[in-house]
Amino acid sequence: MNGNGNTRKSPVTIREMTVEDIATVFELGEKLFTSKEVPNLYRSWDDYEVIGLFYDDAEHCFVAEMHDRIVGFVLGTTITKKRSAWKYGYLVWMGIDPIVQRMGVGERLFEWFRDTMLEKGVRMMLVDTEADNTPAIRFFKGLGFGNDEKHIYMTLNLSEKMKKKRKKDAAGSVVGRRRGTT
């Protein structure tokens, strides 16, 4: 892989992510993966996960640049299982700036990631997305992914319970202080 990245579709360069890229990657992901835009996202964009993936698996974290600006990223890892000769590649996060979507940036990032996985001896790649994320499903199917498995992720928002608990705790601490002062 030479990384010069010039294609007919876009003048994109793919390269390994560096520590200096973390803030920019996080900011782009923060714009793309919001609970407002994707309310049923079972895991939200998290700076600790980005940092953790980078520090644990930097060789599987890449950025796409156009005109010296990061316009996309892919963060992944490899998985090995006991009693299995297979090594799995897991594409954990992939994000493309909407300004350059449909210009081949995502395909180039994925190809770079896939080729890296091949070099690492990966025999199967995994990716997950929301069941109703039609653009992502279409994108990944276009890259050769198949064998869709449906998973159910359920959530319980504890915000209201926390508010009630705080009010109850605050009321209890006022009563406790009064008792302690008399």
pLDDT at 16 over 90: yes
Report the run of H or E that residue 94 belongs to, with start and end. strand 87-96
CATH superfamily for 13-152 is: Gcn5-related N-acetyltransferase (GNAT) (3.40.630.30)
pLDDT given at position 3: 45
pLDDT at 34 over 80: no
Q: Where are the domains of the chain?
A: 13-152
Burial state string for 147-168 with b = 16 or more CB within 10 A and e = fewer than 16? eeeeeeeeeeeeeeeeeeeeee
| pLDDT tier, 4 (very low <50, low <70, confident <90, very high otherwise) | very low
pLDDT given at position 15: 95
Q: What is the mean pLDDT of residues 25-54?
A: 75
CB 10 within 8 A of CB 104: yes
Strand pairing class (61-66; 124-127)? unpaired
pLDDT given at position 182: 47
Secondary structure tally for the chain: helices H, strands E = 5, 5
pLDDT given at position 175: 56
Q: What is the mean pLDDT of residues 93-120?
A: 92
pLDDT given at position 19: 94
Lowest mean pLDDT among 5-14, 43-52, 113-122: 5-14
C-alpha 97/C-alpha 69 separation (Å) is 11
pTM (two decimals): 0.72
Lowest mean pLDDT among 4-8, 11-15, 63-67: 4-8
